[in-house]
Structure 1
Amino acid sequence: MKTKGKLVIGGSWRSLGLPAVFLLCLFFFLAGFLGSILFSNQDVSSARPRPMELKSVEEGREFDPLPHGGTGEDSLTSIPFQVLSWKPRALYFPNFVTAEQCQSIIKAAKVHLAPSSLALRKGETAENTKGIRTSSGMFISASEDKTGILDFVEEKIAKATMIPRIHGEAFNILRYEIGQRYNCHYDAFNPAEYGPQKSQRIASFLLYLSDVEEGGETMFPFENGLNMDANYDFRKCIGLKVKPRRGDGLLFYSLFPNGTIDATSLHGSCPVIKGQKWVATKWIRDEEQND
């Protein structure tokens, strides 16, 4: 109740009067509204980013395909991807192929593995470059694969990169065992170091054929201009790291659109600590290839 205009604590809520009740209701409404916004924003920020995706659709459903040219297709196709970096341009493709397809490629490659080799620069020899690349591997073209899986993979890579498949080298299937690695290097060949080049590697697509329990990441130490000084140790496993996951793909570009080498595309393979790493590499060039 009220005495001389003062509010008596403990009185009935009815004694507050209509204006006070209205203000209380408004207070609780605003508190609830602001709280819901706060928790809603918290949930969104903690959610895992969704890959960009537009699944293939049939004509007449979600989207209508346009009339196409003689080399085009009559259906819409899109592949989930995530931009990992713009310096260098690197994109990640989850579930690019199935586990069964990965296992089939490994099975075919196992019996033909040999120690991996290096493209040598001026003054280098196999002896003084020993230990830079310690994996085992083999080359196989899509036409040599009787299962048709590599043909499917090659076609999908062409769609992901929008570079015709005839520009791709044969697949290099690689196995890294415990302790094996590939020190930092460029996939493009600097003419000042390797001599004149008839064609140049534009991009690389890495298809991870196995999970790796520990280690084995693909790493970009110069991502976004980091570590680019004369004191950088090329044996270190630092920078942007991509963990191998079976069936996933990694695309990165070695050249800028003007054809010069992107210095931030330097990359390497961290040592495998536990398990094995299997990967199929497709190098893509600016000139047509005959494999």
Structure 2
Amino acid sequence: MKFKAVKLNWRWKTKKFGLRSVFLLCIFFFLAGYSGSRFFHRSQEDEYDVRARLLEKSTEEEVEHRLLQGGESGDDFITSIPFQILSWSPRILYFPNFANAKQCENIVEMAKVGLTPSQLLLREGETEESTKEIRTSSGIFINATQDKTGLLEVFEEKIARVTKLPRTHGEAFNIIRYKIGQKYDSHYDALKPSQYGPGDYQRVASFLLYLTDVQEGGETMFPFENGLNMNGSYRYKDCIGLKVKPRKGDGILFYSLYPNGTIDPTSLHGSCPVIKGEKWVATKWIWNQIVVYDD
């Protein structure tokens, strides 16, 4: 009887405290699991933040520079122009606040006089009539030497510094305006020999300086970024892939060639149609050889 009494008493205690214990255990494991997931997620963020801070520290906190003796065409100072890597395939760099608002406005005013419909470098079998819907913007070419204010010369020099390609290898600035509905279908800046014929001249890189904000649309698109959409089904009018929104004063640089000089197939790009507002952009194409202008 004593044994049974003890046994009954144990069962009674189990019944009395079992539900509460199970409930508390459920709360404990829920909180433990939630905390663990938060810790894991946070640890990934912390790891990224640490790497980002280390990279930032390594580039920004070096206030003392040991300059070398420069050559005749070199500098005696350090240049620091902030940038962000948007993509490695194709290689795209983003330069925030590359120009200030007043500089952008001055370039737009400079270009407003003399705008003509933008043209294409025609491939074999193409005509202006058959390609007129591919690029519907207006533009004007202005050489830095034609700008008496010296503003374009300043940006030409700045672009040379970020591209690491000499000013002498750049075309004149092509300053372009896109109104509502205007666009530029996807294309390559590099010239494929199979389409344009063999030649030694080749476009290496392109720099785009956005001169206005665009309320909606007008993004610069890279549909083949990281190898996407390259299965042959892509329509060159589709605005997909990596898209860079125009912001006044910002610039992007992308390379059309691999370091070995061959064309990067992922460098296909275009300008999405402007939906609201107006887009102005100054484009600088840079070649692998010195650009000679006709008098």
Could you say which TM-score interval applies, normalised by the shorter chain?
A: 0.7 to 0.9
SS for the counterpart of 2:229 is: coil
Matches within 5 A, 1:238-253: 238-253=240-255
Which one of the candidate residues 129, 137, 140 is aligned to 1:138? 140
**CA offsets, 1:215-266, max 9 Å, x none?**
0000000011100122211110000000001111110000111111110000
Which one of the candidate residues 123, 126, 131 is aligned to 1:124? 126
**Where does residue 228 of structure 1 map in the other structure?**
230
Find the aligned partners of 1:207 and 1:110 in 2 and give their Cα distance. 16
Matches within 5 A, 1:153-168: 153-168=155-170
SS for the counterpart of 2:131 is: coil
Which one of the candidate residues 65, 72, 75 is aligned to 2:74? 72
SS for the counterpart of 1:66 is: coil
Matches within 5 A, 1:272-287: 272-287=274-289
**CA offsets, 1:160-208, max 9 Å, x none?**
0110110000000000000000000000111110112341000000011
For the aligned residues, what is the CA RMSD? 2.6
TM-score computed with the length of structure 1 as normaliser: 0.81
Which letter maps to 1:62? E
Matches within 5 A, 1:77-226: 77-226=79-228
**Where does residue 3 of structure 1 map in the other structure?**
none
Structure 1 unpaired stretches of 5+: 1-33
- Residues 1:56 and 1:290: Cα distance change in structure 2 (over 3 Å): farther
**CA offsets, 1:118-151, max 9 Å, x none?**
1111111111112100000000011011111100
**CA offsets, 1:79-101, max 9 Å, x none?**
10111111101110111111111
- Residues 1:108 and 1:195: Cα distance change in structure 2 (over 3 Å): same
**Number of residue pairs aligned between Structure 1 and Structure 2:** 255
Query: Is 1:55–1:77's contact at 8 Å kept on the other side of the alignment?
Result: no
SS for the counterpart of 1:283 is: strand
1:42 CA displacement: 8.7
1:44 CA displacement: 5.4
Find the aligned partners of 2:258 and 2:78 in 1 and give their Cα distance. 28
Which letter maps to 1:246? K
Which letter maps to 1:267? H
Percent identity reads: 62
TM-score computed with the length of structure 2 as normaliser: 0.80
1:55 CA displacement: 6.8
**Where does residue 8 of structure 1 map in the other structure?**
none
